[in-house]
Structure 1
Amino acid sequence: MDPLSQIMGVEEAAKLWGTTPGYVKNLCAEGKVRAVKIGKTWILDKNQPNPLKQAAKD
């Protein structure tokens, strides 16, 4: 399995989760999603649940 197929950027996460890239960056910065920052770029785990759906359940 290619490990790069398991990650996504902010733009892809925003489309997948139905929100804006800015909001995804805020989630990353607040530690509410699994992500790491490399330089100025956030890299997210593609296999994590949609945090917006998780928030609605809580």
Structure 2
Amino acid sequence: MKSPCIDICVFDGRTGWCKGCGRTKDEIRAWKKSQPHQQRRIESDLPRRLAKLTPMAKPIRPDQ
């Protein structure tokens, strides 16, 4: 499974989530070694996480 990283690695101090992709530092480090079902579980939670970040912290997609 492709990484959800969009090369905006700034972490929210309150949640610990990356403001670009929504993952934690531990999830990012473990991504390549994670099982597909673990990656899918994390990826399915990312929209919820990103929505909880402040509006200024929402991801900026490079293609926008």
TM over 0.5: no
- TM-score w.r.t. length of structure 2: 0.28
- TM-score w.r.t. length of structure 1: 0.30
Q: As a proportion of its length, which structure holds more strand?
A: 1
